[in-house]
């Protein structure tokens, strides 16, 4: 029998094992290069959403906790999820943005690591890719598979950049967050793939190959919320994406997001997001969708 350990012992090449990024599962919401306006002024109630952005001109800032953060023009800014802010504009400013989430990172824990926006250090390779993607996004009619993958690669490079922008203490906490949820990755991915289906605790526990009581306890310990609450969060996030990126009717959005009917969906969405689905769709920018096919 072939023994790979023999080859490893003879080889001087290191074998690289995935670390932090093994639990970095990124979901893209939208991207664009459009004037910053009211659609960004109010806090987005998708609490798990990160904002990667760069202003094309000076004059745009975020107001939060009695502080002011000017969105840079020569660097990328990373606005963490859950941050309550208002946008302050001295004039019309064009903004290149990518909205995304890291699926397995609980927002409450992330907020302890990222209490405010982060200005990323300069990185020639990453920033050159960002310039290329800005041009591609501006020129594209939609975001197909290739462009979506390239945007995800930029997000991964940004997250890798945090090693130089965060203290060792905060980096250690991020690694702890990732390592502590490895056993739930399969369940979290299953939820996203089957979001329009019934997802009760018994079904999810079977995916985790454990008892229902043990699963609920472990999930709450790792994610800071019950499985049912997490599933509802995922449904609201899915609905938010479909409202912005498709022309599906409210009924179809409700169905594709796993809600029993339009009325229940509208009630839950209004409670969680702060405004009903139709108003949310009207107030959001025209963003290019990520691989969502009509029909």
At 16-73, the pLDDT tens digits run 444 444 557 788 877 888 887 656 655 455 667 899 999 988 988 898 888 999 999 9
201 & 164 share domain: no
The total of structural domains in the chain comes to 2
**Which tens digits make up the pLDDT trace of 83-130?**
888 888 887 888 899 988 887 676 767 777 888 999 999 999 999 999
Reported confidence tier of residue 240, pLDDT bands at 50, 70, 90 = confident
For 142, which DSSP code? S
Q: What CATH number should be reported for the domain holding residue 221?
A: 1.10.10.60
Residue 3: inside a domain, yes or no? no
What CA–CA distances, in Å, run from 276 to 3, 212, 245, 279?
Answer: 60, 34, 17, 6
Residue 7: what pLDDT? 47
30 & 164 share domain: yes
Range in 83-97, 128-142, 205-219, 280-294 the model is least confident about: 280-294
140 & 244 share domain: no
Of 138, 153, 177, the last residue of a domain is 177
158 & 195 share domain: no
40 & 99 share domain: yes
127 & 262 share domain: no
| Residue 59 and residue 32 in contact, taking contact as beta carbons nearer than 8 Å | no
| Residue 239 and residue 276 in contact, taking contact as beta carbons nearer than 8 Å | no
Domain interval for residue 51: 25-177
Query: How much of the chain exceeds pLDDT 70, in percent?
Result: 80
Residue 185: what pLDDT? 78
Please give the Cα distance from 57 to 72 (Å, whole number): 8
Rounded to two decimals, the pTM is 0.71
168 & 218 share domain: no
133 & 254 share domain: no
211 & 138 share domain: no
58 & 148 share domain: yes
172 & 114 share domain: yes
């Amino acid at each position: 029998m072939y023994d790979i350990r023999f080859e490893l012992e003879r080889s001087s090449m290191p074998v690289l094992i995935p670390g932090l990024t093994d639990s970095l599962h990124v979901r893209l919401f939208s991207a664009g290069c459009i004037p910053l306006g009211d659609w960004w002024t109010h806090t987005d109630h998708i609490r798990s959403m990160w904002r990667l952005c760069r202003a094309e001109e000076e004059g745009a800032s975020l107001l939060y906790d009695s502080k002011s953060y000017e969105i840079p023009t020569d660097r990328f800014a990373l606005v963490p999820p859950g941050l309550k802010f208002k946008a302050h504009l001295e004039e019309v400013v064009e903004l290149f943005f990518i909205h995304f989430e890291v699926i397995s990172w609980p927002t409450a824990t992330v907020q302890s690591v990222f209490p405010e926006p982060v200005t990323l250090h300069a990185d020639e390779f990453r920033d050159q890719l960002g310039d290329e993607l800005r041009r591609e996004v501006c020129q594209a009619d939609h975001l197909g598979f290739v462009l979506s993958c390239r945007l995800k690669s930029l997000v991964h490079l940004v997250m890798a950049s945090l090693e130089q922008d965060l203290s060792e203490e905060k980096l250690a906490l991020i690694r702890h967050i990732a390592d502590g949820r490895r056993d739930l990755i399969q369940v979290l991915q299953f939820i996203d793939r089957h979001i329009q289906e019934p997802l009760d605790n018994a079904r999810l526990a079977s995916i985790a190959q454990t008892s229902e009581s043990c699963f609920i306890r472990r999930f709450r310990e790792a994610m800071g919320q019950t499985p049912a609450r997490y599933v509802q969060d995922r449904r609201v996030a899915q609905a938010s994406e479909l409202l912005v990126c498709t022309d599906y009717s409210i009924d179809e959005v409700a169905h594709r997001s796993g809600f029993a009917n339009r009325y229940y969906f509208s009630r839950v969405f209004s409670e969680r997001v702060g405004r009903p689905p139709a108003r949310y769709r009207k107030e959001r920018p025209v963003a290019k969708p990520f691989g969502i096919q009509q029909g």
